[in-house]
Structure 1
């Protein structure tokens, strides 16, 4: 696997050409903060979701009246990107439309994914450019899996605290599709105690109201500050008993149960005009403990 390593005095990050996927975050003290991809539970670490988030009915989408096969979370995470910028603390990988991509998604696009370090933080930014002559529908999201428990916090209770103090409605999935009914929020004044039982029914999806930032970790020990940009939807996901939790900001969700298979009609899909560029990102900062 082709890897690019970026580093500063505080952290080291490895990024793979396959999927432009971050593979590790290590602080100077030797601690690892990202999930290590144990195949017993899940081989992913921090995939980029494009050109759709979640699943489509029967793994089929329609665009302009034509149907295309597309597996969960799109094809970017299984595509080889090209390294176009490599600096000591920054790298950019690029994916461009190809014959293979057009068989699933008939648009001329460019997807640039940048990883950049700033002190004890890593910022991941995706820029989608529509190089086609038509409006281009898509969904995009991030799926980083952080260690749970965080290093040095085994046996301690972990919490998520939303910066906005919100209590967003919860949505659940059925065979990968979003159920339309809103459920009571598991947050109380923006705070949620994490337990593995929360994920017995798959991911926890918040279609809106989660804000643009949170704190994940223990009250008195290791913690992360996590924030995101231009991504109105959010989800948490783990497998019960696994040593990770995914913090997932999205622009676009899975199709709804009983809803349309048209990519443009999925909840929160982006509709990008010819020549335009959409920018999305997240920042994960390791807080001192």
Structure 2
């Protein structure tokens, strides 16, 4: 496996692995490390890319056009080796093209292009999905980055919270066996604010299928804050393992299916369908405190 490559500027140093085109570390110029370090005692991931599904499939089986396929949770992109296409001081681009292994799970010729770009104290990760076949291509897509909790410089008794820029109170969806329960629950947000507590995650991830908006702040009381913006990502999830020192802030376009709705990829919530030759772009940006 080729080693991770590094991009950097005066504010940030970021490492990206060819395995899954996954962000490995984000360090500001003052030496503070913001991304979860992937300790397998809790969770070995750091910032996986989710494609061609988000979440689980019933019994890890999908049907596509009525034909059954095996598909692990969150798809295969995060376990695939990407090719490095372009690398400069503050930018890199990896790509994954369909191959025999991917076609055995997902019978489409696609191209997945993943870019990491630095602009001052902002990191933008963008993904372009291209359908290279003459038939329609259904899929889901998501980001799954894990950030330190507590944030660097806010260790101790600082309270952490999520602030939705739209001030909304989106309804909550919960999982059972990796699939979404049918009922939506009252929002844990109050006027766009959610006070973070490990107890919120005893029942697994918190999923907000709609209404969370396209930007938020993750911050510590009287401490650092991270500013996020999302592009073409209408669903939001928050997740950690209770007691683990990270928080996943996950913008998605697609979710796990609702219990009882079957295995068809076409029927999964927020599934996208690209026509022949079409592309779709997804991105998130996060701005870090200046050193």
| TM-score, normalised via structure 1 length | 0.99
Aligned residue for 1:43, secondary structure, equals coil
CA contact (8 A) 2:53 2:140 kept: yes
How far did residue 227 of structure 1 move? 1.1
Alignment partner for residue 179 of structure 1, among 164, 181, 188?
181
- The 2-side partners of 1:15 and 1:227 are apart by 20
Question: How many residues of Structure 1 are paired with residues of Structure 2 in the alignment?
Answer: 289
How far did residue 243 of structure 1 move? 0.5
Q: 2:261 maps to what in 1?
A: 259
The question of 1:40 aligning with 2:41 is answered yes
- The 2-side partners of 1:37 and 1:151 are apart by 16
Q: 1:240 maps to what in 2?
A: 242
Gaps of 5+ in 1: none
Residues 25-70 of structure 1 show CA distances to partners (whole Å, capped at 9, x for unaligned) of 0011111000000111000000000000000000000011100000
Q: 2:148 maps to what in 1?
A: 147
Alignment RMSD, CA only? 0.8
Alignment partner for residue 275 of structure 2, among 273, 276, 279?
273
Residues 208-251 of structure 1 show CA distances to partners (whole Å, capped at 9, x for unaligned) of 00000000011321110011100110000000000000000000
Residues 3-36 of structure 1 show CA distances to partners (whole Å, capped at 9, x for unaligned) of 1100000010000000000000001111100000
CA contact (8 A) 1:225 1:287 kept: no
Runs of 4+ in 1 over 2 A off after TM superposition: none
Q: 1:200 maps to what in 2?
A: 202
Q: 2:87 maps to what in 1?
A: 86
The question of 1:221 aligning with 2:209 is answered no
CA contact (8 A) 2:93 2:113 kept: yes
Aligned residue for 2:101, secondary structure, equals helix
- The 1-side partners of 2:262 and 2:167 are apart by 33
- The 1-side partners of 2:241 and 2:257 are apart by 22
Q: 1:135 maps to what in 2?
A: 136
- The 2-side partners of 1:240 and 1:65 are apart by 39
- The 1-side partners of 2:232 and 2:289 are apart by 24
Q: 1:166 maps to what in 2?
A: 168
